[in-house]
Amino acid sequence: MSENLDLLNRRRKVMGDSPLFYEEPLHFVRGEGVYLHTADGQRYLDCYNNIPVVGHCHPRVAEAIARQNRMLNVHSRYLSEPIVAYSERLLDTFGDGLDQVLYTCSGSEANEQALRIARQLGRGRGIICSNFGYHGNTAAVDQVSPMMHRERQSFSEVRSIPFPETYRPLHGLSGQHLIDAYLAEVQGAIDSLEASGIGFAGMILCPIFANEGLPRIPPTLLQRTVERVRRAGGLVIVDEVQAGFGRTGTMWGHQLMEISPDIVTLGKPMGNGYPVAALVTRAELLAAYREQVFYFNTFAASPTAAAAAMAVLEVIQEERLAEHARETGDFIRHGFADLAGRHGLIGDIRGAGLWVGVELVRDQQTREPAARETWQLVNELKREGILVSRTGPYGNVLKMRPPLVFQRGDAERLLAASDRALQRIEGLATDSQGDAEVMVSDMSGTSVRMRDR
Amino acid sequence: MSENLDLLNRRRKVMGDSPLFYEEPLHFVRGEGVYLHTADGQRYLDCYNNIPVVGHCHPRVAEAIARQNRMLNVHSRYLSEPIVAYSERLLDTFGDGLDQVLYTCSGSEANEQALRIARQLGRGRGIICSNFGYHGNTAAVDQVSPMMHRERQSFSEVRSIPFPETYRPLHGLSGQHLIDAYLAEVQGAIDSLEASGIGFAGMILCPIFANEGLPRIPPTLLQRTVERVRRAGGLVIVDEVQAGFGRTGTMWGHQLMEISPDIVTLGKPMGNGYPVAALVTRAELLAAYREQVFYFNTFAASPTAAAAAMAVLEVIQEERLAEHARETGDFIRHGFADLAGRHGLIGDIRGAGLWVGVELVRDQQTREPAARETWQLVNELKREGILVSRTGPYGNVLKMRPPLVFQRGDAERLLAASDRALQRIEGLATDSQGDAEVMVSDMSGTSVRMRDR
């Protein structure tokens, strides 16, 4: 432990208060499959990290990168086979006329280019986003990422609207009324952008509203949203940085949600940790964009980025990880449904594939968000050797999105540990108000916003 | 060749008109040291690529990445040794109280964060940049990158000013008059930003004005510019993406130019092709920024990024590549000075270390830019098996910045080939007006701006 403190102090000296998980941060030295190992020999079951999609340190990905790095790694202004072959294989997984790809290094950069395309080709510069979305850390992308703002901020070229959900429904509505209310929000934002002279460029959204807590969305709501955006001359940008690459039990979140985007952005799991990201769109949109903007990205589309991404895609497809994610995710959700019988804290269980969200409430009737208890659960699970986090605007949605190679036995361990941890927390709530109070100071909306995603 | 055409067509189908060098693009399959090898067995001496700073496919860098990828690669919200150890070693190369580092994936992302810091902490949002600078491809960074704009664009929060140089001096001035004129441009931009209510955040510049054609800058000009910016409450951002890591014969371009920046951004050569970049600043600036903005970057500061960057830094330091760059660069400049006696096209020879710029002119008295001839020279050198490019606002500066492991013998080969190529071009100019005319169509300012950097 004192070694960790020493490393933490050295880190603070050179990197300042660069964000860390947990009050006592974990120091990892080795990763393998669904496990991370600490310096002092502890092993953690990783139910949190979505980047190592095919498992930590997958030998095939590591070897593909190593082989390519010994052979050739250069920018994309020369011809080379790997990025072309990868692009072909990647685009085969898309429909809807999405037939070309543009590469970047990060999801932030992909969303930057997506916004630039929409603003160049749309009817104005105005973008609609969700009021608890996150799309990256650059200046333009930050404007459409209200989740990260410490206080509500407004930007002339952005309109953020409440996200749709059924558990805490918009204006208390349900069914068709909820859909109508959401479409009215979309239309209101379009009208406001047009009235202000900014004009309307498009809408960006995560197809599963991951940071919003994976809300259940009424059928046809998203399809009708897409229609509405298109009718107003806007482009639909779907951010698959969290939803993509098999995570939701289908290859792409927009396929799960049955919507047809104009631009899809990809990131996190694409290279299993190698920095590679992209956007996929239609050839005519990309050509029109290139007419106006010269885009080149030094590190993107390199042979090594392609080799990493190709190995990941091959593993996902050959091992049928999307199907596996659907089955294993359903098993976890059923398991939590069983636990809900014993634990009043469990208010709702949601998600798709191996993106599982469990919303904790103090009262199943009033649905009062149990943010403190969710934070306790994250920490209790850490004590059980399990990594999870939390999300949602109230910080009360347990967030689980393990590597897709997560097995039935891993899921059983997660469920058993959650059962024990919930029991302890429920005991704590009755026994010890004092302890609970201590944790509240760390539970402001700010820290929730800051720590998660 | 038909194989290349096939690959080119496949690439266009999936990546559109993604930028490529040369009318007949080169197809590389292997890199080693200062050489790149094509699919059909040709070997090219690389005098262009600055990213593989320690040489293409350096075994130590490849092995460091491979080893770390087999061990652990995860984001930086857990503690891990590699990024701390690298930060310590990196910061040892800085002075001026520059004592903390923030990591990104690309130079664009580093400059994004630099601009955000200046705008959060400066006296306003206004940024001064050079009128032929380039700092990246995101929306905010693009605004300070006039080199990439097809036509002059103006942005309310940016003032671009002419860069200082002595070969084609600002307003025809020299010495102290040139310095005064440049400072007046800086002050005029500050005044304009303040008068408009935007306020002044800072100035961003490449310390060697690389894209501007490596102009010779009068002594004290940059120091006095820095003073002027500071006095007005602005931050000085030095973009070392092209100048840094030993390229100029010193570790950092701002050290060569003897200026003290507030923020330094790093990129291209940092990981020898692995996507890693950073900004270095003072602890109090970073802390004040973090008070206001939550910044986290998924792929940055990972153990593998650290391993790649550490191997590169170790090789640069152990092999004393900065000193080597100074000696070899001086040898090349002397060689071109000799060639200038035989070739009237050579107007000026500039640069520092292994960043060499040779400005071509049609007439040594009038200094009429010889852009077409520079383009011809780039292509003639390609026929000689040598990779170079060109830069500068007139596209008439031959641009040479090989991997730093470039040897004396490589330099001799470059010089001999340049001699032959210049001879052929000078012959062509007298013999064949027709041929020359054909190439002009490809030589608009636009294509120069588009192709280079």
Structure tokens at B179: 């310095």
CB contacts of A77 in chain B (<8 Å) are 19-21, 25
Q: What is the 3-state secondary structure (H, E, C) of B24-36?
A: CCCEEEEEEECEE
| pLDDT at residue A157 is higher than 60 | yes
| pLDDT at residue A327 is higher than 70 | yes
The verdict on A110 touching B (C-beta cutoff 8 Å) is: no
Q: What totals of helices (H) and strands (E) does chain A contain, helices first? A: 15, 15
Task: Flag if A78 and B27 touch (Cβ within 8 Å).
Answer: yes
* pLDDT recorded at residue A428: 79
CA of B264 to nearest chain A CA: how many angstroms apart? 15
The verdict on A260 touching B (C-beta cutoff 8 Å) is: no
CA of B126 to nearest chain A CA: how many angstroms apart? 14
Nearest alpha carbon to residue A152 among A446, A404, A381, A398 = A446
Q: Name the DSSP letter for residue A328.
A: H
| pLDDT at residue A432 is higher than 60 | no
Q: Are strands B126-130 and B200-205 parallel, antiparallel or unpaired?
A: parallel
* pLDDT recorded at residue A437: 33
Nearest to B79 among A7, A69, A115 (CB): A7
Q: For chain B, report the end-to-end CA distance as a whole number of angstroms.
A: 27
Full strand arrangement of the beta sheet holding B35-38: B28-32, B35-38, B43-46, B386-387
B108: part of which helix (H) or strand (E)? helix B107-121
The span from the CA of B375 to the CA of B320, in Å, is 34
Which residue ranges form the domains of chain B, and what is each CATH number?
Answer: 2-54+320-451 (3.90.1150.10), 59-318 (3.40.640.10)
The verdict on A230 touching B (C-beta cutoff 8 Å) is: no
Residue A411: how many other CB atoms lie within 10 Å:
25
The span from the CA of A39 to the CA of B27, in Å, is 45
Nearest alpha carbon to residue A33 among A355, A409, A451, A412 = A409
- The phi and psi torsions of B309 (rounded to 5 degrees) equal -65, -35
CB contacts of A299 in chain B (<8 Å) are 51, 105-106, 273-275
- The pLDDT profile of chain B, 453 residues, written as one tens digit per residue, is 678 999 999 999 999 999 999 999 999 999 999 999 999 999 999 999 999 999 999 999 999 999 999 999 999 999 999 999 999 999 999 999 999 999 999 999 999 999 999 999 989 999 999 999 999 999 999 999 999 998 888 999 999 999 998 898 878 898 999 999 999 999 999 999 999 999 999 999 999 999 999 999 999 999 999 999 999 999 999 999 999 999 999 999 999 999 999 999 999 999 999 999 999 999 999 999 999 999 999 999 999 999 999 999 999 999 999 999 999 999 999 999 999 999 999 999 999 999 999 999 999 999 999 999 999 999 999 999 999 999 999 999 999 999 999 999 999 999 999 999 999 999 976 554 433 333 322 323 333 333 333
Q: Which residues pair with B36 in a beta bridge?
A: B31, B44
Helix, strand, coil abundance in chain B, percent, nearest 5? 45, 15, 40
Nearest to B57 among A27, A59, A73 (CB): A73
Comparing A60-64, A167-171, B284-288, which segment has the lowest mean pLDDT? A167-171
Do A89 and A101 contact (CB within 8 A), yes or no?
no
Amino acid at A375: W
Amino acid at B45: L
Nearest alpha carbon to residue A31 among A273, A276, A242, A381 = A273
The span from the CA of B46 to the CA of B20, in Å, is 16
pTM above 0.90, yes or no: yes
The residue with tokens 């004590």 is: A383
CA of A363 to nearest chain B CA: how many angstroms apart? 32
Go through chain B and tell me how many residues it has: 453
> Which stretches of A18-80 are DSSP H helices?
59-71
CB contacts of A11 in chain B (<8 Å) are 79, 83-84, 87
| pLDDT at residue A430 is higher than 70 | no
Q: What is the 3-state secondary structure (H, E, C) of B137-205?
A: CCHHHHHCCHHHCCCCCCCCCEEEECCCCCCCCHHHCCHHHHHHHHHHHHHHHHHHHHHCCCCEEEEEE
Amino acid at A112: E
Burial A212-222 (b: 16+ CB within 10 A, else e): bbbbebbeebb
B 364-403 residues with CB < 8 A to A: none
Query: Dihedral angle at the C-alpha atoms of A360, A364, A367, A370, nearest 10 degrees?
Result: -30
The span from the CA of B239 to the CA of B109, in Å, is 12
Nearest alpha carbon to residue A245 among A263, A262, A222, A264 = A264
Q: With H, G, I as helix, E, B as strand and everything else as coil, classify residue A273.
A: coil
Do B269 and B247 contact (CB within 8 A), yes or no?
yes
Nearest alpha carbon to residue B29 among B41, B12, B21 = B41
* pLDDT recorded at residue B394: 95
Q: Quick one: how far is CA A432 from the chain centroid? A: 35
CB contacts of B150 in chain A (<8 Å) are 292, 294
Confidence of residue A195 (pLDDT cuts 50, 70, 90): very high
Amino acid at B14: V
- The phi and psi torsions of A422 (rounded to 5 degrees) equal -65, -40
pLDDT tens-digit series, residues B380-395: 999 999 999 999 999 9
Go through chain A and tell me how many residues it has: 453
Task: Flag if B59 and A65 touch (Cβ within 8 Å).
Answer: no
The verdict on A60 touching B (C-beta cutoff 8 Å) is: no
Task: Flag if B140 and A138 touch (Cβ within 8 Å).
Answer: yes
Q: With H, G, I as helix, E, B as strand and everything else as coil, classify residue A214.
A: coil
Task: Flag if B17 and A150 touch (Cβ within 8 Å).
Answer: no
Amino acid at A40: D
* pLDDT recorded at residue B445: 32
CB contacts of A143 in chain B (<8 Å) are none
Angle, helix B321-342 to helix B303-318, in steps of 10 degrees: 60
The span from the CA of A144 to the CA of B230, in Å, is 32
For chains A and B, CB pairs below 8 A equal 298
The span from the CA of B288 to the CA of B52, in Å, is 35
pLDDT tens-digit series, residues B61-86: 999 999 999 999 999 999 999 999 99
Task: Flag if A108 and B109 touch (Cβ within 8 Å).
Answer: yes
ipTM greater than cut 0.90: yes
The span from the CA of B119 to the CA of B125, in Å, is 5
Q: With H, G, I as helix, E, B as strand and everything else as coil, classify residue A239.
A: strand
Q: For chain A, report the end-to-end CA distance as a whole number of angstroms.
A: 27
CA of B187 to nearest chain A CA: how many angstroms apart? 26
A89: part of which helix (H) or strand (E)? helix A81-91
Full strand arrangement of the beta sheet holding A28-32: A28-32, A35-38, A43-46, A386-387
The span from the CA of A82 to the CA of A355, in Å, is 31
| pLDDT at residue A424 is higher than 70 | yes
CA of B50 to nearest chain A CA: how many angstroms apart? 10
Q: In A12-71, which ranges are E strands?
A: 28-32, 35-38, 43-46
Task: Flag if A31 and B75 touch (Cβ within 8 Å).
Answer: no
Give me the DSSP letters along B308-356.
HHHHHHHHHHHTTHHHHHHHHHHHHHHHHHHHHHH-TTEEEEEEETTEE
Phi-psi region of B156 (alpha: psi -120 to 50; beta: other; left: phi over 0): alpha
* pLDDT recorded at residue B105: 97
Residue B80: how many other CB atoms lie within 10 Å:
24
Task: Flag if B69 and A88 touch (Cβ within 8 Å).
Answer: no
Nearest alpha carbon to residue A357 among A449, A221, A242, A225 = A242
Q: Quick one: how far is CA A430 from the chain centroid? A: 35
Task: Flag if A78 and B18 touch (Cβ within 8 Å).
Answer: no
Nearest alpha carbon to residue B151 among A294, A174, A340, A450 = A294
CB contacts of A80 in chain B (<8 Å) are 27-29
The verdict on A172 touching B (C-beta cutoff 8 Å) is: no
Task: Flag if B20 and A305 touch (Cβ within 8 Å).
Answer: no
The span from the CA of B217 to the CA of B166, in Å, is 7
Full strand arrangement of the beta sheet holding B389-391: B346-352, B355-360, B397-400, B389-391
Q: Name the DSSP letter for residue B270.
A: G
Nearest alpha carbon to residue A356 among A344, A341, A346, A367 = A346
Q: With H, G, I as helix, E, B as strand and everything else as coil, classify residue A163.
A: coil
The span from the CA of A421 to the CA of A219, in Å, is 35
Nearest alpha carbon to residue A351 among A452, A211, A445 = A211
Task: Flag if B28 and A304 touch (Cβ within 8 Å).
Answer: no
Structure tokens at B3: 């194989």
- The phi and psi torsions of B399 (rounded to 5 degrees) equal -115, 115
